[in-house]
Amino acid sequence: MSLTPPGGTTTIAGKTVSRLGFGTMRLTGQGTWGDPDDRHRAIRVLRHAVHTHGITHIDTADAYGPHTCEHLIKDALYPYPDDVLIATKVGMVRPAPNMWAPHGHPVYLRASIEASLRRLNTDRLDLCYLHRIDPEVPLADQLGTLQAMQDEGKIGHIGLSKVTSESIRLAGKYISVAAVQNVLNLIDRYDPALELCRDLGIPYVPYRPLDAGNLAREERMATALHWLLQLGSHVAPIPSTSNPEHLHQIVSVTANGWL
């Protein structure tokens, strides 16, 4: 039985997916570091997202854990349903809990992509974001590495994360930008890239749509998610939770307000 996609549908990286996606960042230990306290619950959340709630856009990164969430996704969802888009990110290293640093050296990016392919047990990453632009490495070299691996068939589409409008325009000289992932929520309400993506026909994926839990109470959550969805059909938020009951609330308030 097919499930009604929460929030309706949009197209990302050539797939028709639910506009309400699922971010996996909270499926790790504290500080986005290490394994979750309850691994079985993390796997249950992922399976509920796809098989119970009809979410077909799953977002992750090799830096979550690091590596933890990609392993969880494989264990929970492989073999992957044809209609599910799994997006990951490379280009960030984790020195310690709550610490993040961009690392865009071409050798590192290539090694990271190969490692993500193995962890996810797939021959191709449908959507791979450059997690951060490394200011110490020419952008052409960073994007050139991803494009080379796209040409090899190991990446389907390339996205950008936490970028300015200027960076999106510059990146467009080197690659076809398949998606942009930036912070946007009722607290951080303004991002010029939102309108640029609309103008350029690029899907815009707001991460931290519930402001890291500050908007997670049910009445505020409904307002926050409905506000994002009404910004345009190209907007596809990816709330994250490690709690199956909270996931049910997120899907319910989205569906009740929009379907």
Domains and CATH numbers, the chain: 9-258 (3.20.20.100)
CA dihedral sign, ordered 249, 10, 156, 141: negative
pLDDT of 198 reads 98
Residue 136, φ and ψ in degrees, nearest 5: -90, -5
Where in the sequence numbering do the catalytic residues fall?
64
**Rounded to a whole number, what is the largest CA-CA distance in the chain?**
50
| Separation between Cα atoms, residue 75 and residue 9, nearest integer Å | 26
Q: Tell me whether strands 101-102 and 92-93 are parallel, antiparallel or unpaired.
A: antiparallel
pLDDT of 258 reads 44
Residue 147, φ and ψ in degrees, nearest 5: -65, -40
Q: Is 80 exceeded by the pLDDT of residue 32? A: yes
Q: Is 80 exceeded by the pLDDT of residue 61? A: yes
Q: Is 80 exceeded by the pLDDT of residue 257? A: no
pLDDT of 121 reads 98
Structure token digits, residue 178:
């398949």
Q: Does residue 79 have a cis bond before it (omega within 30 degrees)?
A: yes
Structure token digits, residue 84:
């599910």
259 band by pLDDT with thresholds 50, 70 and 90: very low
Give the length of the chain: 259
The residue-averaged pLDDT of 42-71 equals 98
Q: Is 90 exceeded by the pLDDT of residue 219? A: no
Element (H, E) at 150: helix 139-151
Give the CA distances from residue 84 to residues 8, 11, 49, in Å, rounded to whole numbers and listed in that order: 15, 12, 11
197-209 residue pLDDT tens: 999 999 999 999 9
Average pLDDT across the chain, whole number: 95
Structure token digits, residue 230:
């009404």
| Separation between Cα atoms, residue 207 and residue 229, nearest integer Å | 13
